[in-house]
C-alpha cells in the first residue's frame, strides 16, 4: 500500500526497469486542500519505486504543471510510460489548462533517460481531438470534453504505437457518450488521431483505459462513475479478439474490487490489479491498494483470486 500523510494519491500507472524494480507514477495533491474534490485542479505526477508492489519508496515527483501561460499550466493528469526503441522512457500525460468554466484536456509528452528526471518534449500538445469524430468545447461539466488518460502500447505487428484515450463521442447525451478514442504513431512523436474504437454503450465516460492479455485473452479494462451501467460497477473488463480491438461494450462485465477505482493491470509473477482506495469511513481515502491477483474466467470476466 502507498499512503502519503500529506497528499492524496489516486490514478496510477506502472513500468518495470532493467533491474526488475517497479515504478509507480500517480496523481497527487496536498491534503491541505481539505476538500478532495479540489485535488483535480492541483494535481501533479508523483513517483515511487518498489521491489514487490507492496513496499514503496517515494522519490522525486516526475512532473508538475508548467509555468503559465501554457497548455498544461493548471494540472498534470493521468498517463502511461513506455520505453522507446532508442532506449529512452516516454511519459505520455494529460495536460490541463483552465478555460474559465472548464478544463481543456490535451495529451503531451515528457522523456527521460533513467525514469527519474523528466523533460517536456516541446511546448505544444502532442495529440488533440479531431472534431470530425470527438466532442469539442463541451461545457456540460467543469471538465469539458474528455481527452485524457493516454494508454500507449506497441503495435503487435511492429508497425508503430497505439494510444487509447478517454474520449466523448460527438453526439449523445452526457450519460451515454463515453468512447475509447485512439491515435497511432510510427515513432512515438507524430500521432494520427483515428475514429473511436467503441460505440457509445451506456457509459458517460470510459476512464483510465488499458489493454492486456490475461490468461490468453485480450482484454480492455476501464472504469466509470457515469452512465446507465455505472450502477452495476465502477471497474469493467471487455474481451476482444486482439489488444487492438475492436471492443464491443455490450460484452463489458464488471470487475468485483469493492472500494477501488482506476485500477491498473500490473505484471509480477502473474497479473494483479492496483488501484486507489476511493472511500473509507465515508471519506475520500486517496491511497494506493496492495496488489490483487486476478484471472480471466470463461464467462468473459476478470476475477480477483
Q: What is the DSSP letter of 175?
A: T
- Number of helices and strands in the chain (H, E): 0, 21
Going along the chain from its start, the domains and CATH numbers come out as 7-304 (2.115.10.20)
- The number of angstroms, rounded, from the C-alpha of 80 to the middle of its chain's C-alpha atoms is 7
pLDDT of residue 88: 98
Nearest residue to 68 (alpha-carbon basis) of 101, 38, 99, 114: 99
What was the pLDDT predicted at 144?
65
Please report the pLDDT score of residue 206 as a whole number.
Answer: 97
Q: Which residues pair with 169 in a beta bridge?
A: 134
pLDDT tens string, the chain, 305 residues long: the values are 999 999 999 999 999 999 999 999 999 999 999 999 999 999 999 999 999 999 999 999 999 999 999 999 999 999 999 999 999 999 999 999 988 777 899 999 999 999 999 999 999 999 999 999 999 866 665 566 799 999 999 999 999 999 999 999 988 888 899 999 999 999 999 999 999 999 999 999 999 999 999 999 999 999 999 999 999 999 999 999 999 999 999 999 999 999 999 999 999 989 999 999 998 988 999 999 999 999 999 887 899 99
Cα 239 from Cα 248, distance rounded (Å): 8
Q: What is the pTM of this model?
A: 0.96
Compute the radius of gyration of the chain from its Cα atoms. Answer: 18
CA distance 46 to 63: 7
| CB 79 within 8 Å of CB 108 | no
pLDDT in the model for residue 138: 65
CB 290 within 8 A of CB 54: yes
Start-to-end CA distance of the chain, whole Å, equals: 18
- Burial string for 113-132 (b: 16+ CB within 10 Å, else e) reads eebeebebbeeebbbbbbee
Q: Cα separation of 105 and 62, whole Å?
A: 19
Amino acid at each position: 500500500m502507498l499512503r502519503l500523510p500529506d497528499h492524496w494519491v489516486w490514478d496510477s500507472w506502472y513500468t518495470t526497469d532493467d533491474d526488475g524494480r517497479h515504478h509507480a507514477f500517480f496523481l497527487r495533491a496536498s491534503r491541505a486542500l481539505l476538500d478532495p474534490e479540489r485535488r483535480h485542479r492541483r494535481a501533479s505526477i508523483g513517483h515511487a519505486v518498489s521491489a514487490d508492489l507492496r513496499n514503496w519508496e517515494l522519490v522525486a515527483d516526475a512532473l508538475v504543471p508548467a509555468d503559465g501561460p501554457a497548455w498544461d499550466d493548471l494540472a498534470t493528469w493521468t498517463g502511461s510510460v513506455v520505453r522507446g526503441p532508442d532506449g529512452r522512457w516516454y511519459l505520455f500525460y494529460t495536460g490541463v489548462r483552465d478555460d474559465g468554466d472548464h478544463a481543456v484536456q490535451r495529451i503531451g509528452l515528457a522523456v527521460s533517460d533513467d525514469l527519474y528526471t523528466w523533460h517536456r518534449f516541446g511546448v505544444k500538445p502532442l495529440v488533440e481531438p479531431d472534431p470530425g469524430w470527438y466532442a469539442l468545447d463541451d461545457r456540460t461539466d467543469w471538465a469539458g470534453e474528455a481527452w485524457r488518460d493516454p494508454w500507449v502500447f506497441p503495435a503487435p505487428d511492429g508497425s508503430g504505437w497505439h494510444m487509447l484515450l478517454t474520449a466523448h463521442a460527438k453526439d449523445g447525451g452526457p450519460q451515454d457518450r463515453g468512447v475509447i478514442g485512439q491515435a497511432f504513431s510510427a515513432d512515438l512523436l507524430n500521432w494520427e488521431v483515428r475514429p473511436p474504437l467503441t460505440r457509445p454503450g451506456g457509459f458517460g465516460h470510459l476512464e483510465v483505459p488499458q489493454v492486456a492479455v490475461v490468461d490468453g485473452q485480450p482484454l480492455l479494462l476501464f472504469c466509470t462513475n457515469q452512465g446507465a451501467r455505472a450502477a452495476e460497477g465502477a471497474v469493467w473488463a471487455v474481451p476482444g479478439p486482439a489488444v487492438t480491438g475492436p471492443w464491443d461494450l455490450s460484452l463489458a462485465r464488471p470487475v468485483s474490487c469493492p472500494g477501488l477505482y482506476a485500477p491498473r493491470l500490473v505484471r509480477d509473477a502473474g497479473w494483479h490489479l492496483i488501484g486507489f482506495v476511493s472511500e473509507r469511513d465515508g471519506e475520500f481515502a486517496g491511497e494506493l491498494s496492495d496488489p490483487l491477483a486476478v484471472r480471466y474466467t470463461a464467462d468473459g470476466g476478470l476475477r480477483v483470486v
